[in-house]
Amino acid sequence: MRNANKFKLGVFSMNVSHGTTITTAPGTLVPTWEQNVQIAQAADEAGWEFLLPLGRWRGFGGRTNFNDNVFEVYTWAAGIAAITKQIQVFTTSHTRVVHPLMAAKQGATVDHISGGRSGLNIVAGQKGPEISMFGIEMIDHDDTYEASDEWFDLVKRFWTDHEDFDYEGTYYRVKGGHMMPKPLQKPYPYIVNAGLSPRGRLFGAKHADGTFFAGQNDLQELKAAVKQVRETAWREARRGLAAFNHCYVVCRDTEKEALEYVRYYVDECGDWEAADRVIRTLIGADEQSVPREKLRNMQRSFIAGWTGFPLVGTPEQIVDKIIALSEIGLDGAALHWVDYEAGIEVFNQRILPLLVQVGLREK
């Protein structure tokens, strides 16, 4: 994640069924372990920077039962770390369901398996149907971030303190805190966060090395958001902050073919029931609270690629869009497709060389 490439590349949500596309179109992720190995090694061998899994515990119903089939992120990361050579392998950890000592121990283990390539994506959010399976009560939104502040403070102490310690917080208490071995990376693995609320952005600005943006397809709005969160990081913690987003990719020989494929997998094959449940669960939006046309557009954006930025068109058009993302201040993107295996093969063959030509990637 700290190499010389101007625009970093990652793969997003390869560990969950259907990835990021809420569709029944052929080729969507199952996923199988064999699929995940093939995708991870394709990115690794091509010099991509990171693999970012999605933390999920159950699906959203509908025809697809979207995201119901999912590999748990820590064991997934350990397995992927063992079969790759240079790529950063993230875990995505929900703070409310993983104790900080367990997160620190598992993260350090992955760091040793990988030879110092682990990363941590911290998720403070809570989703009712998932949290209830753990017997945990929902708490106020901002309180989840207060708890996550303590959670990460403890993870850092387990990773860096060489003397046993006690900790007395509002949400966590530790007696004789101790953990060995420490991570290979110093002071600790690369940290990212994707909180979208003002409190979530503050958390990322204070604690993360990089923050992810989603749901903003207007370049000027995205530019303003990147500027704001970087200013917050400097104001609150006197620190720099890398900025990333996630993008769904549809590459075809012509723009018309690319747009037609999006129309096919969204409008003809989209699982609108599951998309509606995603929006109700994550955003709390429905026809009573949001105008019908706006709600339909939100559903379409989730079906197309989890509200990601669209990289749709010919290889040259996709490169132009990546250049635009870089010019507004983004340091990279996590990419996803309907068919990950075919998608990353096309990207490596037809788009990656063009990114080298325009100076966003080294050979």
**pLDDT per residue over 101-146, tens digit each?**
999 999 999 999 999 999 999 999 877 788 889 998 888 989 999 9
Residue range of the domain that includes 215: 8-357
Q: What is the rounded distance in angstroms from the CA atom of residue 195 to the CA atom of residue 56? A: 16
Contact criterion met (CB below 8 Å) for 5 and 330: no
Q: Cβ of 135: how many Cβ atoms within 10 Å?
A: 6
pLDDT of residue 323: 98
pLDDT of residue 115: 98
Residue 242: CATH number of its domain? 3.20.20.30
pLDDT of residue 197: 86
Q: What is the rounded distance in angstroms from the CA atom of residue 76 to the CA atom of residue 112? A: 15
pLDDT of residue 46: 98
Q: What is the rounded distance in angstroms from the CA atom of residue 249 to the CA atom of residue 32? A: 21
pLDDT of residue 131: 85
pLDDT of residue 125: 81
Residue 43 in tokens: 């990115």
**pTM recorded for the entire structure:** 0.96
User: Is residue 3 in a domain?
Assistant: no
User: Is residue 200 in a domain?
Assistant: yes
Low-confidence ranges of the chain (pLDDT < 50): none
User: Is residue 174 in a domain?
Assistant: yes
pLDDT of residue 282: 84
User: Is residue 2 in a domain?
Assistant: no
User: Is residue 165 in a domain?
Assistant: yes
Counted domains in the chain: 1
User: Is residue 363 in a domain?
Assistant: no
User: Is residue 130 in a domain?
Assistant: yes
Beta bridge partners of residue 173, listed in sequence order: 168
Q: What is the rounded distance in angstroms from the CA atom of residue 215 to the CA atom of residue 305? A: 10
User: Is residue 71 in a domain?
Assistant: yes
pLDDT of residue 271: 98
Q: What is the rounded distance in angstroms from the CA atom of residue 217 to the CA atom of residue 195? A: 17
Which amino acid is located at 251 in the chain?
C
Which amino acid is located at 337 in the chain?
W
